Structure 1
Amino acid sequence: MDEFSPTKINQWKTLDKDLGRIALLESASAAIARPRVAIGIAVVFILVCGFAAAAFVGAGPGTLTIVVAAAFGAYMALNIGANDVANNMGPAVGANALTMSGALAIAAVFETAGSLIAGGDVVSTISGGIVAPSAVAGPGVFVWAMMAALIASSVWLNLATWLGAPVSTSHAIVGGVMGSGIAAAGFAAVQWGTLGQIAASWVISPVMGGAIAAVFLAFINRYIKDAPDKLAAARLWVPVLIGLMAGSFTAYLAMKGLRKVVDVSLAQALLLGLAAGVAVWLVFLPVVRWQATGMHNRKRDLKQLFGLPLIVSAALLSFAHGANDVANAVGPLAAIVHAVTSMDAGDKVAIPLWVMAIGAFGISFGLLLFGPRLIRLVGQEITKLNQMRAYCVALSAAITVIAASGLGLPVSSTHVALGGVFGVGFFREWEEERRARALNLRKGKPVAADERKRRKLVRRAHVLGIAAAWVVTVPLTALLSAAIFRAILFLV
């Protein structure tokens, strides 16, 4: 009987409260510890890269400079992984075709493979002709200009990730090189025509990506989702769409991702894409028929047919991103290594394998440690995605890059992918509004303003915030790079 006394009961209640406080404290400590562990691992990676650079270069008068540059190159790669890769994996995660852990694993493997297998082996020392090499006064000044560009672009990517804004890595690098180049050689050294093309891409990339994604979503809605016999329509059109995706990605990888392995023209890439598209279409005709067996004639079942193609497209986008963008990311580091070891600031610089490895593994570490936040934002917080909509975004990214390359237009893969997400969301808004008006017109009443407001399917705050980050990337990194360059010259 004593164990049920009021005193014992009060003691148990007190013990439960204490245990609850301890559990709350443990969960809070775990939440605090996770980001600290990630930051700790990132710091260790940066230090390892610095020591590895010293081992590869060997003792010499410029070794310390290369070690510092390698550390900042690793920091840059970590930030690219945290920020830029979200555009490839976000739609697949948002559509529930991939779990977060699955997306991180696939992206890490394919980004690394793309970087090391098909990464560019030559890069312009001034990131695509932004600043004339002859205008920079000697290799010493050139090294500090590249160091300032590397630091500035890394810091901005870190800040953008913290703010939740996916931005273009290439634009950050371009802004950094431009700013330090102006500080080193004046405004006349800048190739303003190239800068004009980059500014134009702020509009071209998202508009093209959004328009193409919206067109494909409209096609799927009309000819598959809204068809009386949805399964028959799916058996006809889904293999065609999968073949189109295969052909687009084959051409995309041949033209953009495999330059180191094989050099192909646009016409050759399109022919390869056509052959791959026809082959995949023929293969998937029976596969889709088999998948559709036993399905019901409803929209929910149709989404399952797009799951596997969406996963494959996300993996291919990651491979192409690793092959195409890592060279730009580690370009300043490669330029510094070349200038210090050869005392020359030439137009073209070969990227050593160890420099590419820093970029490849740094992107993977950055993605695993810090990438989930922006993956969720791109895939879940801008607009609601399912397998069909996310498929349209991925297909739009490949087709837009191919079309822009054929027309000679500069595009950013980041802007294209996000433009596809925006395009899908705004098209759904327009379609919902059109259907509501048609329904209310039959009922003889207008659409109420509050009802129209509830149908906003794209979060305007994210759109405006991301667009603002895009616009300020080049000027902000340019100003920061110029300031860092002046500070370096003052200190050395």
Structure 2
Amino acid sequence: MLDQFTYIFVIGTFFAFLDAFNNGANDVANAWATSVSSRSVTYRQAMVLGTVFEIVGAIAVGARTADTIKNGIIPNSAFRGDAGVQMLAFTCALAGASSWVMWCTRHSAHVSSTYSLISAVAGVGVATVGAKQVQWGWNNGKGLGAIFAGLLMAPSIAAAFGATIFMLIKVIVHLRKNPAPWAVWSAPMFFLISGTICTLSVVYKGSPKLGLNKKPAWYIASVTLGTGFGLCLFSALFFVPYLHAKIIKKDYTLKPWMVIYGPLLFSRPAPPDAEVAKVPDYAVVQHQEFEETPEASAHGSVNESNTEVNEKNLVKNEVKQLTYKELVEQAEERMNSRLRKKRGPLGWAMRTLHENPMGDGKIYELANMKIALKRIPAILVAGALYGVNYDIHAAQTGVEGTPDGARMKRVYDNATKYPNETEHTFSFIQIITACTASFAHGANDIGNAVGPWAVIYAAWTTGDAQAAKAPVPIWQIAVVAIVLCLGLALYGYNIMRVMGNKITYHSPSRGCSMEMGAAITVLLFSQYSLPVSTSMCITGATVGVGLCNGTLKAVNFQRVSLLVISWIATIPVAGTLAGVIMGIVLNAPHFAT
């Protein structure tokens, strides 16, 4: 039979993986939501790039030690040297934090996994040693008082930085009569800014193992400015000629690999019929249109009679009479119907679930048991592939005839749309900032995800309570990093469909401003050892850039208010959940064997 330590270890491992999964579905997904919303990358590209940089950052330069007592919220003496109590404490903290974050993710309410875990540890501390032993004050920036302050300060400061950077872009590029040349020739300067900020992010937030943040000031300045100016020079030699040929000359025959030609592209002649630059369409539409049937495309374009117009108006009026719930379900069904038309495993799974609904009665009815046997494989396949094929942009638009649709229409109507040629220039910068954010998150925040599990594992294998700092084996970091990336791939769409265009209108120039504004804020807070959530910073920067449209109507404050409420609720809810679980288990009757 398994002893009680092993039982706690198994349960703690489950909740540790669940917490890491939620971390990926929340924090990592939120880091890439801006790039996906701006159409700089697709959801699949974001998953690939996010996975690569998260894992590389975690394994290559990630922290090799983790705080056993998260942020010093409770003293190490709370465990009285008892490994069982220590394992139980972290298991209960993980259970409370992961349960709350999972519920929030399911309902598309973004919360910080790190803040949830800190709050859960505080709740466990109250249940274990009493409220007097918990650090409620500032505690050198590590107490709960500092956490409360960060909830208010970080998003506001990020909003200011994001707005400042975007206004710089507006003045230099967007407000010009012919903005395309300005976007091309000013690109090295913006690469310099992004390169410098991204390098500082790695130095101060993503290099625990390398110890770059402990180097002298002159060394840090040399590395940072050297990288920034190096990227600036590289973009001037290769990127500017490529953009000049593609955007100014409108050379539609240009291939991406031709960027290696560098200055030679200035003398490359464009085709005589080059009239429009071949760049992606970054426009975000409010409503997704129905796909035309072959019959409609064959006959509808010839002549649309008054009868057809009246029939369409009648259908439109009938749709508006549907209830809010029915309209939302109708929009979701349109998305699912497109997935059912796909070939491959996902299409098969979606068709199987659609064609085999559960019948009347309980699951133990023979007919329902037969149906369930057909549905279970399809549920597993759909669960693994649904997020990869989810249409983030369709989900970020409003549903016509609903309050949400009205809010989104107002937001989109009050946002200035800039030419695709100028936006295309900033899409490359945005990819750099997003990749750096993933690298820094994997290098630094992996300790938040793996720390509790490392403590539980060490206490289980040694039978002794761990010290204030515990070593983390590389294999544990790798396992947690993989689980974290699975959360991004399988469940991250729940956050991405809300973050981004559900708050304000996105575009590459706006997106890179948001990401750089958030990065600067994280750096500022890191210098004063203040706990901060990158996700909260990117949300604040999103609002700040949205306000640069010149009107409050360009920001969906209803959605922002819900996010702020979820942030504030995290501390009491996660803390109470973990504390109650700890109190019940710790004080339950024990029976001798």
- TM bucket normalised to smaller: 0.7 to 0.9
Shift in Å, 1:486: 1.7
The Cα offsets for residues 37-72 of structure 1, whole Å up to 9 and x where unpaired, read as xxxxxxxxxxxxxxxxxxxxxx98733332222121
Shift in Å, 1:184: 0.1
Is the 2:37–2:506 Cα contact (8 Å) retained in structure 1? yes
2:417 pairs with 1:465: no
Letter in structure 1 aligned against 2:200:
A
The 3-state SS of whatever aligns with 1:384 is: coil
Q: Distance in 2 between matches of 1:215 and 1:488?
A: 51
Shift in Å, 1:112: 2.0
Of 123, 126, 139, 1:179 maps to 123
Of 41, 48, 52, 1:98 maps to 41
Is the 1:74–1:358 Cα contact (8 Å) retained in structure 2? no
Q: Which residue of 1 aligns with 2:167?
A: 218
Equivalent positions of 1:204-353 (< 5 A) are 204-265=153-214, 267=217, 268-286=219-237, 287-293=239-245, 295=247, 299-342=419-462, 343-353=464-474
Q: Distance in 2 between matches of 1:272 and 1:78?
A: 34
Of 28, 36, 57, 1:85 maps to 28
Higher deviation after alignment, 395-404 or 470-479: 395-404
The 3-state SS of whatever aligns with 1:379 is: coil
Shift in Å, 1:352: 2.4
Q: Distance in 2 between matches of 1:400 and 1:316?
A: 15
Shift in Å, 1:289: 4.2
Q: Which residue of 2 aligns with 1:356?
A: 477
Higher deviation after alignment, 389-398 or 63-72: 63-72
The 3-state SS of whatever aligns with 1:128 is: helix
Letter in structure 1 aligned against 2:164:
V
Shift in Å, 1:339: 2.5
2:9 pairs with 1:66: yes
Is the 2:9–2:87 Cα contact (8 Å) retained in structure 1? no
2:64 pairs with 1:121: yes
Q: Distance in 1 between matches of 2:103 and 2:124?
A: 20
Letter in structure 2 aligned against 1:181:
G
Q: Distance in 1 between matches of 2:13 and 2:441?
A: 21
The 3-state SS of whatever aligns with 1:378 is: coil
Shift in Å, 1:427: 2.3
List runs of 5+ in structure 1 lacking aligned partners.
1-58, 434-454
The 3-state SS of whatever aligns with 2:572 is: helix
Query: CA 1:88–1:269 in structure 2 vs 1: closer, same or farther (change >3 Å)?
Result: farther
The Cα offsets for residues 110-136 of structure 1, whole Å up to 9 and x where unpaired, read as 222222222211111111111111133
Is the 1:383–1:458 Cα contact (8 Å) retained in structure 2? yes
Query: CA 1:269–1:252 in structure 2 vs 1: closer, same or farther (change >3 Å)?
Result: farther
Letter in structure 1 aligned against 2:479:
I
The 3-state SS of whatever aligns with 1:123 is: strand
The Cα offsets for residues 419-448 of structure 1, whole Å up to 9 and x where unpaired, read as 1111111222xx2x4xxxxxxxxxxxxxxx
Q: Distance in 2 between matches of 1:187 and 1:347?
A: 20
Is the 1:181–1:189 Cα contact (8 Å) retained in structure 2? yes
Query: CA 1:70–1:409 in structure 2 vs 1: closer, same or farther (change >3 Å)?
Result: closer
Of 417, 425, 434, 2:538 maps to 417
Q: Which residue of 2 aligns with 1:404?
A: 525
Greater RCO (Cα-Cα under 8 Å, separation 6 or more): 2
> Normalized per residue, which structure has more helix?
1
The Cα offsets for residues 251-309 of structure 1, whole Å up to 9 and x where unpaired, read as 11122112113443373434321111111111212322440345369833111111122
The 3-state SS of whatever aligns with 2:548 is: helix
- TM-score normalised according to structure 2 size: 0.66
The 3-state SS of whatever aligns with 1:456 is: helix
Is the 1:62–1:341 Cα contact (8 Å) retained in structure 2? no
The Cα offsets for residues 349-375 of structure 1, whole Å up to 9 and x where unpaired, read as 111233223311111111111111211
Is the 1:131–1:181 Cα contact (8 Å) retained in structure 2? yes
The 3-state SS of whatever aligns with 1:84 is: helix
Q: Which residue of 2 aligns with 1:483?
A: 580
The 3-state SS of whatever aligns with 1:138 is: coil
Letter in structure 2 aligned against 1:137:
R
Is the 1:335–1:345 Cα contact (8 Å) retained in structure 2? yes
The 3-state SS of whatever aligns with 1:264 is: helix
Letter in structure 2 aligned against 1:411:
V
Letter in structure 2 aligned against 1:456:
K
List runs of 5+ in structure 2 lacking aligned partners.
249-276, 278-417
Identity between Structure 1 and Structure 2 (%): 30
Is the 2:12–2:90 Cα contact (8 Å) retained in structure 1? no
Is the 1:330–1:356 Cα contact (8 Å) retained in structure 2? yes
Q: Which residue of 1 aligns with 2:334?
A: none
Shift in Å, 1:187: 1.2
Q: Distance in 2 between matches of 1:115 and 1:366?
A: 16
Is the 1:148–1:180 Cα contact (8 Å) retained in structure 2? yes
The 3-state SS of whatever aligns with 1:380 is: coil
Equivalent positions of 1:361-380 (< 5 A) are 361-380=482-501
Equivalent positions of 1:441-452 (< 5 A) are none
Shift in Å, 1:155: 0.4
The 3-state SS of whatever aligns with 1:349 is: strand
Equivalent positions of 1:8-19 (< 5 A) are none
Q: Which residue of 2 aligns with 1:391?
A: 512
Q: Quote the RMSD (CA, aligned, Å).
A: 2.1
Q: Which residue of 2 aligns with 1:19?
A: none
The 3-state SS of whatever aligns with 2:66 is: strand
2:110 pairs with 1:161: no
Q: Distance in 2 between matches of 1:67 and 1:357?
A: 19
Letter in structure 1 aligned against 2:247:
M
Q: Distance in 1 between matches of 2:528 and 2:472?
A: 29
Is the 1:255–1:269 Cα contact (8 Å) retained in structure 2? no
Letter in structure 1 aligned against 2:166:
L
Is the 2:8–2:88 Cα contact (8 Å) retained in structure 1? no
Query: CA 1:136–1:188 in structure 2 vs 1: closer, same or farther (change >3 Å)?
Result: farther
Q: Distance in 2 between matches of 1:195 and 1:80?
A: 21
**In the comparison of the two structures, how many residue pairs are matched?**
410
Higher deviation after alignment, 259-268 or 206-215: 259-268
The Cα offsets for residues 450-483 of structure 1, whole Å up to 9 and x where unpaired, read as xxxxx71211221011000111111111100011
Q: Distance in 1 between matches of 2:153 and 2:223?
A: 26
The 3-state SS of whatever aligns with 2:208 is: coil
